[in-house]
Structure 1
Amino acid sequence: MTVHDPIIASASGNRKAIPDDATMLRAAAELTREYSKADPAIYWPDMLASALVGYAGLATAILADSTVLALASGLVAMLALYRAASFIHELTHIRKGALPGFRLAWNLMVGIPLMIPSFMYEGVHTQHHARTRYGTADDPEYLPLALMKPWSLPLFIIVASLAPVGLILRYAVLTPLGIIVPPLRRMVREQYSALSINPAYRRRAPEGEFRRQWFWQEAGACLFALMLVASPLFLGWKPLLIYMAVHSSMTVINQLRTLVAHLWENDGDAMTVTAQYLDSVNVPPPSPLAAIWAPVGLRYHALHHLLPSVPYHALGKAHARLMATLDEQSPYRGGNYAGMWPLVGKIARSTMVKR
């Protein structure tokens, strides 16, 4: 499904050389006006059902006597909670007042119990969309993975598998200690308070209303992490270990999804919007599994970089409209790929090229 346009291919690895395509950008802007409204009748049932199915699966996995039932329930829990957690991406783009109460409900049901409250993504992800930041050293969500050493890819996934351990340490240990050790508190805020992949990224102190949101979300995650640490004293080790296995598996899938969300070929210079699009990835239908490993519209990640304000439930319609409107030579088709594993292979092969 990939379009190998010779102009696009020759610019691979030199993304800054790709000029903006006015026709594609104009068509995308028109769709933004048409599809920009978030529908509460879709958001609320989707998020609530995903969370409830996830926790039901988690409870069944913990209580099951059968290994087969426990594994099957754990798989259901992982996939459903992964979908529920993916709404954190939508929270960063939803216009203020569009979905009253949704942020609060998501944090109480998903963000705090998974120790990924929305403050860890809000104010971070929008920098990834900044025109002059994307793909540069100031982008918290970008690393030139395709230009790095081959061992960087497995390390990228292994680190993700340790996420629940890191989150427990962050909230059950570092948060309480930070209250009495101000320098530690600053370090935690700067280096361990963002869902980012750029290790050089440093977060600024929150201000205003966001500071108040940060406070109660962090306090809730801290209390939950402390309960997790204490849970073996009252419930034994099984619930905690199953929770961590589900959480780890969920994070690994998300990291794989992140790995193929971009081609990671930029060398640090600012890029045009079209170049940013072509460094990003759509996995549209008929790919049968993309809706599972890239839920809540994440299968249209390249399109999302053109239409960041369009809600997830409208991205499929927007994609179909652009495919029907733009001609065969449009750069838009160069952002469409067939599935996860061909993309993993493409990035892995790129890391093996001597530079």
Structure 2
Amino acid sequence: MNKLASEGVSLTKQAYALAGDLMTPNATIYWIDLVISAALMWGGFYVAATTASLAIGLVAGLVSMLALYRALSFIHELTHIRDDEAPGFRIGWNVLVGVPLMTPSLMYEGVHNIHHIKDRFGTALDPEYLPLSRFTPLKLAGFLFVALLAPLGVVLRSAILIPLSFVVPPLRRYLKTKLSALIINPDFVRDDLNRWRPEWVVQDVACWLWSWAVIAATVAGMLPVRFVLTGLAIFSVATFVNQARTLVAHHWDNDGGKMTLDEQFLDSVNVPPPNLASELWAPVGLRYHALHHLLPRLPYHNLGKAHARLAQALGTDSIYHHASEKGLFEALADLFGRVGRKNLAAE
């Protein structure tokens, strides 16, 4: 047992003591990672949409999908870093990824942070929590597969609802409060309308104009339909993978009551090494989800180093070691198994 634990220091304080020197983001890493991810995303997409070879198309599509997923996942980092820590990164990300995918940073900024408020985590006020372990197996499967429709949802929002909202005030309010957040809690309502930033309006307008430009180019025959269908397919699979990752990000056992910090940590999940595949399906630090809830400001590129320190320094009696899963399929099997057992017990 380490000294801090023996003195009864909380796990959060132990984590800060062990990894407090890792809190500074490295802007160079952010930019290099984003640019490479965006290049692979767009390059893979172009090859998949133009090649005559099915095999090459599938490989290119897979590369594009994984790169898109990684690039899009930086929206999570944007909610935790300040603009002065990575100058221009927020704008660059929206230009390269957010607006083209019609998923601008406004849809996570001011929303995800609520998930980290200790008195809201796991409650009805948490935008990113539902008691999924109390779902039926069929409802849980529905939650997973509905993600395939996400690209159609962002197209509808950008091409139709955004322009209409500027001439129909009630729709504008509804768009801001209910259709401008990446959430899993359908009852969540954004209440930050008085703090709606001018750059968020610019992002909305940019998504609107981009969607219309793509539609116009397709109708005019300038953009082949194959390009559109390929892009939608790649985006759809990426959102499906992210939904699968969401299912294993927590244990989803809370029924809406307030949780202690230890309970919040134990409801969250790490999928650390030696599992290397988790870097693909939980990129940009998402595989260290439990650690992220301990240290939300820790940049993604230092999570692995911090985990290694904590895993080595904290004794086997520490709850830190109880938050890890072996892999995606093991975690999914555990969740569906718990759901099945609870439903059988309720019958």
* TM-score bucket of the superposed structures, by smaller chain: over 0.9
Alignment check: 8 A CA contact 2:83 2:89 kept: no
Tell me the CA shift for residue 95 of structure 1.
2.7
Residue 22 of structure 1: SS of its match in structure 2? coil
Quickly say closer, same or farther: Cα 1:347–1:332, change in 2 above 3 A: same
Unaligned runs of 5+ in 1: 1-20
Q: 2:212 aligns with which of 226, 231, 250?
A: 226
2:272 — aligned with what? 284
Quickly say closer, same or farther: Cα 1:282–1:192, change in 2 above 3 A: same
Unaligned runs of 5+ in 2: 1-7
- 2-side partners of 1:179 and 1:75: how far apart? 38
Letter in 1 for 2:244: L
| Further displaced range: 285-294 or 91-100 | 91-100
Residue 262 of structure 2: SS of its match in structure 1? helix
Residues 344-355 of structure 1: pairs in structure 2 closer than 5 A: 344-352=332-340, 353=342, 354-355=345-346
1:139 — aligned with what? 126
Provide the TM-score with structure 2 as the length reference.
0.94
Provide the TM-score with structure 1 as the length reference.
0.91
Alignment check: 8 A CA contact 1:129 1:305 kept: yes
- 1-side partners of 2:67 and 2:332: how far apart? 24
Letter in 2 for 1:58: F
Alignment check: 8 A CA contact 2:177 2:190 kept: yes
The answer to whether structure 1 residue 164 and structure 2 residue 151 are counterparts is: yes
Tell me the CA shift for residue 206 of structure 1.
3.7
- 1-side partners of 2:150 and 2:216: how far apart? 19
1:76 — aligned with what? 63
Quickly say closer, same or farther: Cα 1:71–1:201, change in 2 above 3 A: same
1:321 — aligned with what? 309
The answer to whether structure 1 residue 311 and structure 2 residue 299 are counterparts is: yes
Q: 2:23 aligns with which of 27, 31, 36?
A: 36
The answer to whether structure 1 residue 58 and structure 2 residue 45 are counterparts is: yes
Relative contact order, higher structure (CA 8 A, sep 6+): 1
1:214 — aligned with what? 200
Quickly say closer, same or farther: Cα 1:48–1:325, change in 2 above 3 A: same
Alignment check: 8 A CA contact 1:121 1:194 kept: yes
2:5 — aligned with what? none
Deviations 1:147-184 (A, max 9, x none): 12211221112211001111100110111111111111
1:240 — aligned with what? 228
1:152 — aligned with what? 139
Residue 153 of structure 1: SS of its match in structure 2? helix
Alignment check: 8 A CA contact 1:278 1:334 kept: yes
| Further displaced range: 48-57 or 31-40 | 31-40
Residue 166 of structure 2: SS of its match in structure 1? helix
| Further displaced range: 103-112 or 341-350 | 341-350
Q: 1:191 aligns with which of 178, 188, 196?
A: 178
Deviations 1:296-338 (A, max 9, x none): 1110000000000000011111111111111101000000110
1:123 — aligned with what? 110
Residues 78-93 of structure 1: pairs in structure 2 closer than 5 A: 78-93=65-80
- 2-side partners of 1:32 and 1:322: how far apart? 8
Q: How many residues align?
A: 334
Quickly say closer, same or farther: Cα 1:326–1:23, change in 2 above 3 A: farther
Deviations 1:264-294 (A, max 9, x none): 0011111111111100000000012000000
Moved over 4 A (4+): none
2:88 — aligned with what? 101
- 2-side partners of 1:136 and 1:268: how far apart? 4
Residues 245-256 of structure 1: pairs in structure 2 closer than 5 A: 245-256=233-244
Alignment check: 8 A CA contact 1:132 1:270 kept: yes
Residue 188 of structure 2: SS of its match in structure 1? coil
Alignment check: 8 A CA contact 1:287 1:339 kept: yes
Residue 101 of structure 2: SS of its match in structure 1? coil
- 2-side partners of 1:123 and 1:218: how far apart? 15
Deviations 1:59-106 (A, max 9, x none): 111111112111111111101111111111000000341111000000
Q: 2:54 aligns with which of 67, 72, 81?
A: 67
